[in-house]
């Protein structure tokens, strides 16, 4: 009754998807941080 994905010994695609999602999240966080720093630099005294 368990899914075929649990029984499959090949877990590489799931790992690739997880790494891809992590890289996307890090890239989005970096872009948001860069945008925030740029906004603060344009608005602040520094």
Given this model, what pLDDT does residue 10 score?
67
Mean pLDDT, the chain cut into blocks of 10 residues (46 residues total): 56 89 97 91 69
DSSP code string of the chain: ---HHHH-S--HHHHHHHHHHHHHHHHHHHHHHHHHHHHHHHHS--
Would you say the pTM of this structure is higher than 0.85?
Answer: no
How many angstroms separate the CA atoms of 8 and 18, rounded?
A: 17
Q: How far is CA 17 from CA 1, 25, 45, in A?
A: 25, 12, 42
């Amino acid at each position: 009754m368990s899914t075929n994905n649990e029984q499959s010994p090949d877990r590489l695609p799931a790992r690739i998807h997880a790494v891809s999602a992590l890289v996307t999240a890090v890239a989005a966080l970096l872009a948001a941080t860069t945008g925030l720093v740029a906004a603060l630099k344009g608005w602040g005294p520094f």
